[in-house]
Amino acid sequence: MYQRILVANRGEIALRIIRACRELGIESVAIFSEADRGAHYLDLADEAICVGPAKPADSYLRIAHVISAAEVGNVQAIHPGYGFLAENAHFNEVCRSCKIDFIGPKPEAMSKLGDKNAAREMAKKANVPIVPGSDGVISNPDEALRFAHEVGFPVLIKAVAGGGGRGMRVAANDLALKSALQQAQQEAEAAFGNGAVYLEKYIEQPRHVEVQVLADHHGNVVHLWERDCSVQRRHQKLIEESPSTSINQKTRDAMCEAARKLIQQADYTNAATVEFIVDKDGKYYFIEVNARIQVEHPVTEMITGVDLIKQQILIAGGEQLSMRQKDIKQKGAAIECRINAENPARNFQPSPGKIERLIVPGGFGVRFESHAHSGYIVPPYYDSMIGKLIVHQPTRAEAISTMQRALAELRVDGIHTTTALHQDILSHSAFVKGEIDTTFVERMFSFG
């Protein structure tokens, strides 16, 4: 097993990884930018190395500095966390050539499943349902119409080179399709320099349901059930929970097994999350694979009792998975609320600055994952998430009740946070009834 690991991240996930290392008896080397100098969580690592100025591109994303820190820190492995370099296949390769283990998949597996089209092809081959899409670029209105009539309206036009929801248009009929196609092509050209578009069936009232998978280097692959992440705003998750209220057990079993098989067939190792979209009739479609540990991994940890970060380290170190599929059960209900330093009343404007006082909630079934503390200054350069509040209870109703209690106890004085918004969402009848799709937040709540 490793003696020393470099934690190539910051904030709550860096703290999470440091904690796992401490429990495994592994020394940790933390990195930090000048903006994070003096953060308390750095004291919990065995060593901390400054890798650059505040801007991520000059520090946390600066591969040369991160690798140098790994060499100077004398580590055998690097845990990339999530975001930053976690899905950077080039960084993964550099680690390999420097003889440092990357705690995650091999570069080839990362590239293979990271390519959206290749992943869709693999899913098709594995008989996993995918969102029906045009096989390639749609260049003229006739092709578009043919496809739309085949899969049925409404259809979604997406930019091939796209991202962030740009170059996307929904069309509900023939007439709308012609103009939508043109608009999408123009927007894609302007935004990405590539006007090529393709079509997908538009899933109405979609639920976002993802499956956690772990695979070791000995051919063992298990799924750890699903997480429902439908409470989103502009494609950013706000609340995640497990089990999902939008699928029945039959669908759950099928979806989770499909995810497990896909990862196995891709020869992928370490942690992965397979994302699906579920339509209003409960039918599921594969979207993509996230080849990293995710922000919301604690939800799965509470439900299954499995420490996912430790498992990542053990897998990378060559250990066999200690649990078998039949041993992994879903117990109770867990919910996570992402506490962001943002002001919902002003269109979620980031709210960096000094936390004058932080009071952390506690009690039975409450878990708070955060690097923040009273007096902590939230820097303006990074993601606004300052903590994750997770609860676990025997039933969903009890989990909601505990989360409400915990949110009311949480005090983050000095900056704005999304705490009150979570309280509103959790008390909304649609959420309580479990009737949410990814449009819920934007439909039900108006901001600023």
Q: Summarize as ranges the residues that interact with another protein (CB under 8 A).
A: 27, 32, 34, 37, 42-43, 45-53, 59, 64-65, 67-69, 71-74, 98
In the complex, least distance from residue 4 CB atom to another protein, rounded to whole angstroms: 9
Sign of the four-CA dihedral 253, 367, 392, 416: negative
Whole-angstrom distance, CA of residue 165 vs CA of residue 146: 24
Nearer to another protein, 47 or 267 (CB): 47
Nearer to another protein, 202 or 376 (CB): 376
Of 10, 207, 227, 292, catalytic: 292
Strand pairing partners for 378?
Answer: 353
Q: Give the strand pairing for 197-201 and 77-79.
A: unpaired
Q: To the nearest whole angstrom, how small is the minimum distance from the Cβ of residue 313 to another protein?
A: 19
- Minimum CB separation of residue 98 from another protein in Å reads 7
Closest CA to 445 of 345, 332, 311, 357: 345
Peptide bond into 206 cis (omega under 30): no
Rounded Cα distance between 181 and 137, Å, is 12
Give the nearest distance from C-beta 397 to another protein in angstroms: 45
Phi/psi of residue 242, nearest 5 degrees: -150, 140
Q: Within a 10 A sphere around the Cβ of 261, how many other Cβ atoms?
A: 18
CB 345 within 8 A of CB 447: yes
Yes or no: say if 91 and 301 are a contact pair by the CB < 8 Å rule: no
Nearer to another protein, 40 or 280 (CB): 40
Active site residue 292: yes
Our CB check for another protein shows the closer of 58 and 189 to be 58
Q: How many CB atoms lie within 10 A of CB 314?
A: 21
Using CB atoms within 10 Å of the CB of residue 145, give its burial: 0 to 12 exposed, 13 to 18 middle, 19+ buried: middle
Residue 74 or 179 with smaller CB distance to another protein: 74
Listed in sequence order, the residues at least 6 apart from 263 whose beta carbon sits closer than 8 Å to its beta carbon are: 213, 215, 221, 272, 274, 289
Minimum Å gap between C-beta 52 and another protein is: 5
**Minimum separation from the CB atom of position 105 to another protein (A):** 23
Q: Which is nearer to another protein, 69 or 266 (CB)?
A: 69
Catalytic residue IDs: 292
